[in-house]
Structure 1
Amino acid sequence: MPNIDLILGSDHGRTRSVRTEPTQRRSTQRLDALLDAAAAIVDELGFERLTTQMVAERAGASIGTVYRYFPDRVAVLYALRERSVRRYRERLAEALDSAELAAWWDVVDCALDVCADLYRTEPGFTVIHAAPREASELDGEPEIAHRIAKVFAQDFGIVEDAEVRHRLGVALELGAALIHRAFERDAAGDERYLAESRRVVRDYLDQELSARIAASPAA
């Protein structure tokens, strides 16, 4: 199975926060327009100030149209986060599919680089840091940790178990927090914090997973 499938999984297109699932192209475009409007507001004012009325006005839609899809502002934010997560996975899958992955840290570097790039290019992406992480039903670890653990297992022979998923979850949380801070400090991303996100994550995983990494074929 290629990396793109490991990262996207079988449910990457699922949307859970939308009240009415769009079934036609026009409805899908209307939903995207509402989320685009919400993303612009989040970037300008912050997610705390977003309201459904603001979304309607920015999108040029009626408030009734907003409520057709979202019961309240919280649902709008969750849907925006779901879209951002989906686009992150899509971009990461593309990056891994085209990259030469010589070692396990190349996968982690890709994950961090794509996150930083989306802070620069994806409107409203900051909302991913404001809502609870998507956790796996299996063990409560971040879903992305499960997916990257599968890449580790397939490409580098690192056994995918609860300990690996836990350590990846911790490492990616550390990296995400530093990346978020980098863009709080500088709209273009504070390079010192971005560099530290890589160093901290790699050092942590080197220390915590050294036995498994040493035993892998890529070691």
Structure 2
Amino acid sequence: MNERPIGQQSVTVRHEPVQARAAQRVEALLDAAAAVVVEHGIEHLTTALVAERAGASIGTVYRYFPDRVAVLVALAERNLERLRHALERVLAAPHETWADATDAVIGAMVDTFREVPSFRSLRTGEGLDLGPSAREQVAPQFADRIAEYVLERWGIELDEAGRESLVLAVGGLDALVTYAFLHDPHGDPRYLALGRMCAMQHLTAAFGDPVTADDPRDGAPIT
């Protein structure tokens, strides 16, 4: 007989549906929070407004988020994941040169600002005032991923100075793209162009002149 010890219960049936419903509820609450941020601004977001916008009780909000800061942090994390996924889609393609890859990355950033609600005002949450626990800087994280892509695609390995130039390129680009969307929901093309120009200057210092995978720089190996 297939007997179960006394007191032991099966847990294979209900957990997945419950977890799925909870995840859907959290997504709905974050969608509502994004709408509140867009309409009223970060400083005016409250758990009560989130509940009202989501058509939920305030108790439902508190079940997942203890306060408004927790809501903003979760929304910022979701924004970061959406930006990271956009970047990964871009880097899944075998671009001819690192300049082509850069243009694709910039395009992905601009699309994220245009298409993800709350991204213009909240971005990835680096500007949130969280007291002693500041959010981790995003530019070095994306610089690491880009450096990995460039090494795999063109065999370009960065030294310390090159790594610094790459981080400056990503951080400066982020700042100028952010400013481009400060007063223009579509992105002021002047600042977008300036962001690309500044990024290209720093990236050229890091990677050298753009070359194709068939024409490696200084004979560097191509993987």
Is the aligned partner of 1:50 residue 2:45? yes
CA deviation map 1:146-192 (0-9, x unaligned): 11111111111111554443322211111111111111131111111
2:126, 2:136 within 8 Å by CA — same for their partners in 1?
A: no
SS at match of 2:182: helix
1:167 maps to which residue? 165
| Pairing of 1:105-124 with structure 2 (within 5 A) | 105-124=99-118
Is the aligned partner of 1:101 residue 2:90? no
Q: Which moved further from structure 2: 31-40 or 43-52?
A: 43-52
SS at match of 1:24: helix
| TM-aligned CA deviation for residue 119 of structure 1 | 0.9
What fraction of aligned residue pairs are identical, expressed as a percent? 44
More helix by share: 1
Q: Which moved further from structure 2: 160-169 or 46-55?
A: 160-169
One-letter code aligned to 1:41 = V
1:134 maps to which residue? 136
**Larger gyration radius, structure 1 or structure 2:** 2
One-letter code aligned to 2:29 = L
Distance 1:166 1:70, change over 3 A: farther
Work out the CA distance in 2 between the residues paired with 1:163 and 1:187. Answer: 35
Is the aligned partner of 1:194 residue 2:192? yes
Work out the CA distance in 2 between the residues paired with 1:62 and 1:166. Answer: 48
Greater relative contact order, per chain length (Cα 8 Å cut-off, separation 6+): 1
Distance 1:211 1:105, change over 3 A: closer
1:156 maps to which residue? 154
1:6 maps to which residue? none
CA deviation map 1:12-67 (0-9, x unaligned): xxxxxxxxxx9611111100001101111111122121111111111111112111
Is the aligned partner of 1:31 residue 2:26? yes
SS at match of 1:106: helix
Work out the CA distance in 2 between the residues paired with 1:204 and 1:62. Answer: 50
Work out the CA distance in 2 between the residues paired with 1:196 and 1:83. Answer: 28
* Matching residue within 56, 77, 84 for 1:82: 77
2:73, 2:125 within 8 Å by CA — same for their partners in 1?
A: no
Work out the CA distance in 1 between the residues paired with 2:165 and 2:82. Answer: 24
Q: What is the root-mean-square deviation in Å for CA atoms of aligned residues?
A: 2.7
2:177 maps to which residue? 179
| TM-aligned CA deviation for residue 130 of structure 1 | 4.6
1:4 maps to which residue? none
Work out the CA distance in 1 between the residues paired with 2:44 and 2:153. Answer: 44
Work out the CA distance in 2 between the residues paired with 1:129 and 1:158. Answer: 29
Work out the CA distance in 1 between the residues paired with 2:102 and 2:204. Answer: 12
